[in-house]
């Protein structure tokens, strides 16, 4: 049986396959499978996260090129589906372990005498009005984060000097504030 362009397009529609370039330029497309016609024949390749062509294969006839293209496209979609399923599973496990209204803690550390010690503790919690961002002022005293430090840190995490920590690590900081003794965190 010979594979035709119409059959490949029908398989793409039927199986809901995405992430491809069908006889189009894939110069600036990331993470796609492309098939193209050149003066020498058919070319099938993938692009990476930088849109660089990888795994380039050249074919002198159309049918093997279409088979290779469809096989790669199915594999790409299969891997993407597996990653999405895994991501959803981890998110569900995290959601099950963490009550919806439990606060999240973030710490800013400073280097003092060669060691990183907590300098500021932030907390994100939810109440009836929505999300509330605060920072610890003293034992059991929180002030609103009116400068939006925590909001910026969560939206632009790569540019932030805040790190999310566990409830246990936050408890360590509460103990440090109460005793006025600041040491490096043992647990994160």
Average pLDDT, the chain: 89
Dist CA 165 CA 168 (whole Å): 8
Sign of the torsion angle spanned by Cα atoms 126, 127, 133, 135: negative
Range in 27-31, 44-48, 51-55, 73-77 with the lowest mean pLDDT = 27-31
DSSP assignment string, 78-104: HHHHHHHHHHHHHHHHHHHHS-TT--E
- pTM of the predicted model, to two decimals? 0.52
123-142 pLDDT per residue, tens: 999 888 889 999 999 998 99
Element (H, E) at 50: none
Among the listed residues 88, 65, 72, 67, the one whose alpha carbon sits nearest the alpha carbon of residue 31: 72
60-102 pLDDT per residue, tens: 999 999 999 999 999 999 998 898 888 888 777 766 665 666 8
Across 42-61, average pLDDT: 93
């Amino acid at each position: 049986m010979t594979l035709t362009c119409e059959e490949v397009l029908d398989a793409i529609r039927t199986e809901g396959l995405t992430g491809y370039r069908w006889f189009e330029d894939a110069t600036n497309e990331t993470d796609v499978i492309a098939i193209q016609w050149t003066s020498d024949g058919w070319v099938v390749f993938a692009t990476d996260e930088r849109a660089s062509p990888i795994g380039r294969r050249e074919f002198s006839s159309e049918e093997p090129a279409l088979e290779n293209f469809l096989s790669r496209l199915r594999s790409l979609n299969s891997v993407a589906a597996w990653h999405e399923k895994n991501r959803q599973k981890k998110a569900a496990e995290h959601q099950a372990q963490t009550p919806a209204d439990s606060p999240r803690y973030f710490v800013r550390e400073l280097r003092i005498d060669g060691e990183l010690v907590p300098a500021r503790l932030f907390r994100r919690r939810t109440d009836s009005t929505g999300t509330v961002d605060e920072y610890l002022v003293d034992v059991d005293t929180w002030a609103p984060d009116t400068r939006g430090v925590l909001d910026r840190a969560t939206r632009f995490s790569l540019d932030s000097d805040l790190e999310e920590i566990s409830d246990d690590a936050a408890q360590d900081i509460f103990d440090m504030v109460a005793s006025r003794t600041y040491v490096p965190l043992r647990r994160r």
